[in-house]
Chain A
Amino acid sequence: MREDTSDCALILSPVQWFGKVEGSPVHLPSLTSKQWRGRLTYAAMSLLVVWHTLAIVVAPSPDSAITRSARLLFEPYLTLFRLENGWSFYAPDVRVESEFRYVVEDASGERHTFVPADKLSRFHPIDIWVKDWYIHVMDTPETYGDAVAAYLCREHALLHPVSITLLEIEQNEFSPEDQLSGKHPFDPEFLDEKTLTTVQCPNE
Protein backbone atom coordinates (compact mmCIF):
# COMPACT_ATOMS: atom_id res chain seq x y z
CA MET A 1 0.00 0.00 0.00
CA ARG A 2 1.37 3.45 -0.87
CA GLU A 3 0.10 6.96 -1.09
CA ASP A 4 -0.38 8.56 -4.45
CA THR A 5 -0.43 12.34 -4.32
CA SER A 6 -2.04 12.65 -7.74
CA ASP A 7 -5.32 11.12 -6.72
CA CYS A 8 -5.02 10.44 -3.00
CA ALA A 9 -4.89 6.84 -4.12
CA LEU A 10 -4.32 3.78 -2.04
CA ILE A 11 -3.23 1.15 -4.45
CA LEU A 12 -4.21 -2.26 -3.25
CA SER A 13 -2.55 -5.50 -4.05
CA PRO A 14 -4.79 -8.30 -5.31
CA VAL A 15 -5.14 -9.84 -1.86
CA GLN A 16 -6.43 -6.60 -0.33
CA TRP A 17 -9.33 -5.89 -2.66
CA PHE A 18 -11.99 -6.64 -0.06
CA GLY A 19 -13.73 -3.64 1.52
CA LYS A 20 -11.85 -2.36 4.48
CA VAL A 21 -12.66 0.37 6.93
CA GLU A 22 -10.81 3.60 7.46
CA GLY A 23 -8.09 3.33 10.08
CA SER A 24 -8.11 -0.43 10.39
CA PRO A 25 -4.80 -2.11 9.70
CA VAL A 26 -4.37 -4.05 6.48
CA HIS A 27 -3.48 -7.57 7.43
CA LEU A 28 -1.33 -9.41 5.03
CA PRO A 29 -2.77 -12.83 4.45
CA SER A 30 -1.28 -15.52 6.52
CA LEU A 31 -3.16 -18.38 4.94
CA THR A 32 -2.58 -19.62 1.43
CA SER A 33 -6.27 -20.27 0.89
CA LYS A 34 -7.06 -16.67 1.83
CA GLN A 35 -4.40 -15.48 -0.57
CA TRP A 36 -5.87 -17.59 -3.31
CA ARG A 37 -9.37 -16.43 -2.54
CA GLY A 38 -8.19 -12.82 -2.74
CA ARG A 39 -6.47 -13.37 -6.07
CA LEU A 40 -9.43 -15.19 -7.54
CA THR A 41 -11.79 -12.46 -6.41
CA TYR A 42 -9.50 -9.80 -7.84
CA ALA A 43 -9.39 -11.68 -11.13
CA ALA A 44 -13.18 -12.11 -11.17
CA MET A 45 -13.74 -8.43 -10.47
CA SER A 46 -11.24 -7.48 -13.17
CA LEU A 47 -13.08 -9.71 -15.63
CA LEU A 48 -16.41 -8.18 -14.67
CA VAL A 49 -15.25 -4.58 -15.19
CA VAL A 50 -13.69 -5.51 -18.54
CA TRP A 51 -16.83 -7.37 -19.62
CA HIS A 52 -19.17 -4.55 -18.63
CA THR A 53 -16.97 -1.86 -20.19
CA LEU A 54 -16.80 -3.75 -23.48
CA ALA A 55 -20.56 -4.30 -23.38
CA ILE A 56 -21.39 -0.61 -22.94
CA VAL A 57 -19.01 0.31 -25.75
CA VAL A 58 -20.31 -2.36 -28.12
CA ALA A 59 -23.99 -1.48 -27.49
CA PRO A 60 -24.03 1.92 -29.24
CA SER A 61 -21.26 1.17 -31.76
CA PRO A 62 -22.17 1.48 -35.45
CA ASP A 63 -22.81 -1.69 -37.38
CA SER A 64 -19.68 -3.42 -38.69
CA ALA A 65 -18.27 -6.94 -38.98
CA ILE A 66 -16.48 -6.56 -35.65
CA THR A 67 -19.44 -5.14 -33.75
CA ARG A 68 -21.76 -7.80 -35.25
CA SER A 69 -19.50 -10.55 -33.88
CA ALA A 70 -19.22 -8.78 -30.54
CA ARG A 71 -22.97 -8.33 -30.35
CA LEU A 72 -23.48 -12.07 -30.66
CA LEU A 73 -21.48 -12.43 -27.46
CA PHE A 74 -22.91 -9.48 -25.54
CA GLU A 75 -26.52 -9.51 -26.77
CA PRO A 76 -28.04 -11.59 -23.94
CA TYR A 77 -26.34 -9.42 -21.31
CA LEU A 78 -27.29 -6.18 -23.05
CA THR A 79 -30.88 -7.25 -23.57
CA LEU A 80 -31.49 -8.79 -20.15
CA PHE A 81 -30.33 -5.64 -18.35
CA ARG A 82 -31.70 -3.26 -20.99
CA LEU A 83 -28.30 -1.77 -21.80
CA GLU A 84 -28.95 -1.69 -25.55
CA ASN A 85 -29.10 1.89 -26.78
CA GLY A 86 -27.58 3.98 -29.57
CA TRP A 87 -27.54 7.17 -27.46
CA SER A 88 -28.54 9.19 -30.51
CA PHE A 89 -30.59 11.96 -28.94
CA TYR A 90 -32.25 14.17 -31.58
CA ALA A 91 -29.83 12.69 -34.07
CA PRO A 92 -28.88 12.40 -36.82
CA ASP A 93 -31.50 15.08 -37.48
CA VAL A 94 -34.08 16.85 -35.36
CA ARG A 95 -37.43 15.41 -36.23
CA VAL A 96 -40.40 17.78 -36.43
CA GLU A 97 -42.93 15.69 -34.59
CA SER A 98 -46.51 15.37 -35.73
CA GLU A 99 -49.45 15.87 -33.41
CA PHE A 100 -51.86 13.05 -32.67
CA ARG A 101 -55.60 13.70 -32.67
CA TYR A 102 -58.68 11.51 -32.92
CA VAL A 103 -62.34 11.91 -33.75
CA VAL A 104 -65.10 10.05 -31.94
CA GLU A 105 -68.30 9.65 -33.94
CA ASP A 106 -71.27 9.05 -31.68
CA ALA A 107 -74.55 7.25 -32.31
CA SER A 108 -76.24 10.46 -33.50
CA GLY A 109 -73.53 11.01 -36.11
CA GLU A 110 -71.94 13.89 -34.25
CA ARG A 111 -68.13 14.04 -34.45
CA HIS A 112 -66.08 14.99 -31.38
CA THR A 113 -62.42 15.89 -31.98
CA PHE A 114 -59.90 15.28 -29.18
CA VAL A 115 -56.35 16.61 -28.94
CA PRO A 116 -54.57 14.44 -26.32
CA ALA A 117 -51.59 16.82 -26.22
CA ASP A 118 -53.87 19.45 -24.68
CA LYS A 119 -54.31 17.21 -21.64
CA LEU A 120 -50.57 16.77 -21.13
CA SER A 121 -48.54 18.92 -18.80
CA ARG A 122 -44.91 19.61 -19.57
CA PHE A 123 -44.29 19.56 -15.83
CA HIS A 124 -45.63 16.03 -15.44
CA PRO A 125 -42.85 13.41 -15.66
CA ILE A 126 -44.91 10.90 -17.64
CA ASP A 127 -45.60 13.49 -20.32
CA ILE A 128 -42.84 12.20 -22.61
CA TRP A 129 -43.93 8.57 -22.26
CA VAL A 130 -47.38 9.55 -23.50
CA LYS A 131 -45.94 11.68 -26.31
CA ASP A 132 -43.66 8.84 -27.44
CA TRP A 133 -46.56 6.44 -27.42
CA TYR A 134 -48.56 8.70 -29.78
CA ILE A 135 -45.55 9.10 -32.08
CA HIS A 136 -45.20 5.35 -32.29
CA VAL A 137 -48.90 4.90 -33.04
CA MET A 138 -48.67 7.49 -35.84
CA ASP A 139 -45.57 5.75 -37.24
CA THR A 140 -47.23 2.33 -37.34
CA PRO A 141 -51.04 2.76 -37.37
CA GLU A 142 -51.42 -0.59 -39.13
CA THR A 143 -50.01 -2.30 -36.06
CA TYR A 144 -51.37 -0.19 -33.19
CA GLY A 145 -54.41 1.53 -34.76
CA ASP A 146 -56.94 -1.15 -33.77
CA ALA A 147 -55.67 -1.46 -30.22
CA VAL A 148 -55.64 2.30 -29.65
CA ALA A 149 -59.11 2.69 -31.15
CA ALA A 150 -60.45 -0.15 -28.99
CA TYR A 151 -59.01 1.56 -25.94
CA LEU A 152 -60.50 4.92 -26.95
CA CYS A 153 -63.92 3.29 -27.59
CA ARG A 154 -63.87 2.13 -23.96
CA GLU A 155 -62.56 5.46 -22.66
CA HIS A 156 -65.35 7.41 -24.37
CA ALA A 157 -68.11 4.90 -23.64
CA LEU A 158 -70.31 7.71 -22.29
CA LEU A 159 -70.48 9.21 -25.80
CA HIS A 160 -71.76 5.86 -27.17
CA PRO A 161 -69.10 5.89 -29.90
CA VAL A 162 -69.72 4.24 -33.25
CA SER A 163 -66.25 4.75 -34.66
CA ILE A 164 -62.86 6.26 -33.88
CA THR A 165 -60.80 8.02 -36.53
CA LEU A 166 -57.10 8.50 -35.79
CA LEU A 167 -55.48 11.60 -37.27
CA GLU A 168 -51.92 12.76 -37.73
CA ILE A 169 -51.32 16.50 -37.93
CA GLU A 170 -48.07 16.93 -39.84
CA GLN A 171 -46.10 20.10 -39.30
CA ASN A 172 -44.31 21.69 -42.26
CA GLU A 173 -41.07 23.61 -42.22
CA PHE A 174 -41.25 26.93 -40.46
CA SER A 175 -38.47 29.41 -41.16
CA PRO A 176 -37.11 32.34 -39.10
CA GLU A 177 -38.60 34.65 -41.75
CA ASP A 178 -42.04 33.13 -41.07
CA GLN A 179 -41.62 33.83 -37.36
CA LEU A 180 -40.49 37.41 -37.97
CA SER A 181 -43.50 38.03 -40.24
CA GLY A 182 -45.80 37.20 -37.33
CA LYS A 183 -46.76 33.70 -38.38
CA HIS A 184 -47.12 30.75 -36.04
CA PRO A 185 -45.77 27.19 -36.62
CA PHE A 186 -49.26 25.82 -35.98
CA ASP A 187 -51.12 28.10 -38.39
CA PRO A 188 -53.21 26.03 -40.84
CA GLU A 189 -50.84 26.88 -43.71
CA PHE A 190 -48.07 24.94 -41.91
CA LEU A 191 -50.19 21.92 -40.99
CA ASP A 192 -51.43 18.95 -42.99
CA GLU A 193 -54.09 16.62 -41.62
CA LYS A 194 -53.69 12.95 -42.47
CA THR A 195 -56.25 10.27 -41.60
CA LEU A 196 -54.45 7.23 -40.26
CA THR A 197 -57.34 4.82 -39.85
CA THR A 198 -61.01 4.60 -38.91
CA VAL A 199 -62.04 1.77 -36.63
CA GLN A 200 -65.61 0.78 -35.75
CA CYS A 201 -66.35 0.45 -32.06
CA PRO A 202 -67.92 -2.80 -30.92
CA ASN A 203 -71.69 -2.68 -30.32
CA GLU A 204 -72.57 -1.93 -26.70
Chain B
Amino acid sequence: MDLARPLPQPITPEARPYWEGARDGKLMIPKCRACQKPFMYPRVLCPHCGSRDVGWVQASGRGKLFSFEIAHQILNKAFKVKTPVVLAMVELDEGPRILTNLVNVAPDPKAIRCDMPVEVVFEKLTDEITLPMFQPAGSGGAR
Protein backbone atom coordinates (compact mmCIF):
# COMPACT_ATOMS: atom_id res chain seq x y z
CA MET B 1 0.00 0.00 0.00
CA ASP B 2 1.33 3.42 -0.92
CA LEU B 3 0.50 5.84 1.89
CA ALA B 4 0.87 9.60 1.66
CA ARG B 5 1.88 9.83 5.32
CA PRO B 6 3.94 7.89 7.83
CA LEU B 7 1.61 5.80 9.99
CA PRO B 8 1.70 6.59 13.68
CA GLN B 9 4.16 4.14 15.14
CA PRO B 10 4.92 2.48 17.39
CA ILE B 11 1.38 2.49 18.83
CA THR B 12 2.05 2.17 22.54
CA PRO B 13 -0.28 0.22 24.84
CA GLU B 14 -1.29 3.23 26.93
CA ALA B 15 -2.38 5.06 23.74
CA ARG B 16 -4.64 2.32 22.30
CA PRO B 17 -7.93 3.98 23.34
CA TYR B 18 -6.84 7.12 21.47
CA TRP B 19 -6.17 5.27 18.22
CA GLU B 20 -9.15 2.91 18.57
CA GLY B 21 -11.36 5.94 19.14
CA ALA B 22 -10.00 7.70 16.05
CA ARG B 23 -10.66 4.57 14.01
CA ASP B 24 -14.29 4.79 15.14
CA GLY B 25 -14.53 8.52 14.40
CA LYS B 26 -14.20 9.66 18.02
CA LEU B 27 -11.57 11.92 19.54
CA MET B 28 -10.83 10.17 22.83
CA ILE B 29 -8.60 11.86 25.41
CA PRO B 30 -7.38 10.80 28.85
CA LYS B 31 -8.99 12.45 31.88
CA CYS B 32 -7.87 12.24 35.48
CA ARG B 33 -10.54 10.79 37.77
CA ALA B 34 -8.94 12.46 40.79
CA CYS B 35 -8.61 16.11 39.65
CA GLN B 36 -11.04 15.84 36.72
CA LYS B 37 -8.61 17.46 34.28
CA PRO B 38 -8.21 16.04 30.77
CA PHE B 39 -4.73 15.89 29.25
CA MET B 40 -2.75 14.80 26.24
CA TYR B 41 -0.65 12.81 25.37
CA PRO B 42 -1.92 9.53 26.87
CA ARG B 43 0.09 8.32 29.84
CA VAL B 44 -0.56 6.31 32.99
CA LEU B 45 -0.16 9.27 35.36
CA CYS B 46 -1.99 12.59 35.46
CA PRO B 47 0.52 15.39 34.69
CA HIS B 48 -1.65 17.87 36.62
CA CYS B 49 -1.87 16.11 40.00
CA GLY B 50 0.21 12.94 39.81
CA SER B 51 -2.73 10.58 40.28
CA ARG B 52 -2.58 7.14 38.70
CA ASP B 53 -6.38 7.02 38.41
CA VAL B 54 -6.75 7.90 34.75
CA GLY B 55 -9.81 7.28 32.53
CA TRP B 56 -10.95 8.32 29.05
CA VAL B 57 -13.56 10.72 27.70
CA GLN B 58 -14.72 11.64 24.22
CA ALA B 59 -13.69 15.20 23.38
CA SER B 60 -16.13 17.50 21.60
CA GLY B 61 -13.81 17.76 18.59
CA ARG B 62 -13.99 21.55 18.79
CA GLY B 63 -11.15 23.87 19.64
CA LYS B 64 -9.11 26.81 18.45
CA LEU B 65 -6.08 27.07 16.24
CA PHE B 66 -3.43 27.88 18.84
CA SER B 67 -0.61 28.23 16.34
CA PHE B 68 0.34 27.19 12.82
CA GLU B 69 3.04 27.24 10.19
CA ILE B 70 3.15 26.53 6.48
CA ALA B 71 5.62 23.88 5.42
CA HIS B 72 7.11 24.34 1.96
CA GLN B 73 9.27 21.28 2.37
CA ILE B 74 9.01 18.23 4.61
CA LEU B 75 12.18 16.48 5.81
CA ASN B 76 10.50 13.11 6.34
CA LYS B 77 10.56 11.27 3.00
CA ALA B 78 7.64 9.10 4.13
CA PHE B 79 5.43 12.22 4.16
CA LYS B 80 4.33 12.68 0.56
CA VAL B 81 1.37 15.03 0.88
CA LYS B 82 1.84 17.82 -1.65
CA THR B 83 3.29 20.97 -0.05
CA PRO B 84 2.54 23.61 1.09
CA VAL B 85 0.93 21.94 4.08
CA VAL B 86 -0.45 23.69 7.16
CA LEU B 87 1.11 22.25 10.31
CA ALA B 88 -0.96 23.22 13.30
CA MET B 89 -1.28 23.20 17.05
CA VAL B 90 -4.90 23.02 18.20
CA GLU B 91 -6.09 23.76 21.70
CA LEU B 92 -9.11 21.58 22.32
CA ASP B 93 -12.11 23.13 24.10
CA GLU B 94 -11.34 20.63 26.87
CA GLY B 95 -7.87 22.21 27.33
CA PRO B 96 -5.14 19.93 25.99
CA ARG B 97 -3.10 20.98 22.95
CA ILE B 98 -2.26 18.60 20.11
CA LEU B 99 -0.33 18.81 16.87
CA THR B 100 -2.24 18.17 13.65
CA ASN B 101 -2.81 19.51 10.15
CA LEU B 102 -5.27 22.25 9.30
CA VAL B 103 -7.11 21.14 6.15
CA ASN B 104 -9.78 22.54 3.87
CA VAL B 105 -8.11 25.95 4.02
CA ALA B 106 -5.80 27.91 1.70
CA PRO B 107 -2.16 27.44 2.84
CA ASP B 108 -1.64 31.17 3.10
CA PRO B 109 -0.72 33.09 6.28
CA LYS B 110 -3.25 35.76 5.27
CA ALA B 111 -6.10 33.22 5.24
CA ILE B 112 -5.29 31.69 8.62
CA ARG B 113 -5.15 33.29 12.04
CA CYS B 114 -4.32 32.11 15.52
CA ASP B 115 -7.35 31.46 17.74
CA MET B 116 -9.74 30.80 14.82
CA PRO B 117 -12.28 28.13 15.76
CA VAL B 118 -11.60 24.69 14.31
CA GLU B 119 -13.28 21.29 14.34
CA VAL B 120 -12.02 17.75 13.99
CA VAL B 121 -12.26 15.75 10.76
CA PHE B 122 -10.98 12.21 10.44
CA GLU B 123 -8.80 10.89 7.64
CA LYS B 124 -8.72 7.13 7.27
CA LEU B 125 -5.26 5.84 6.36
CA THR B 126 -5.74 2.08 6.82
CA ASP B 127 -8.40 -0.21 8.29
CA GLU B 128 -6.68 0.22 11.64
CA ILE B 129 -5.42 3.79 11.54
CA THR B 130 -7.40 7.00 11.18
CA LEU B 131 -5.81 10.39 11.85
CA PRO B 132 -7.64 13.24 13.56
CA MET B 133 -7.18 16.47 11.61
CA PHE B 134 -8.82 19.87 11.89
CA GLN B 135 -10.59 22.31 9.59
CA PRO B 136 -12.00 25.81 10.11
CA ALA B 137 -15.24 25.45 12.10
CA GLY B 138 -18.31 25.33 9.93
CA SER B 139 -16.45 24.18 6.81
CA GLY B 140 -19.02 21.37 6.66
CA GLY B 141 -18.80 17.86 5.25
CA ALA B 142 -16.33 15.15 6.11
CA ARG B 143 -13.41 14.87 3.72
B is a partner of A: no
B residues whose Cβ falls under 8 Å from a Cβ of A: none
List the interface of chain A (C-beta within 8 A of B): none
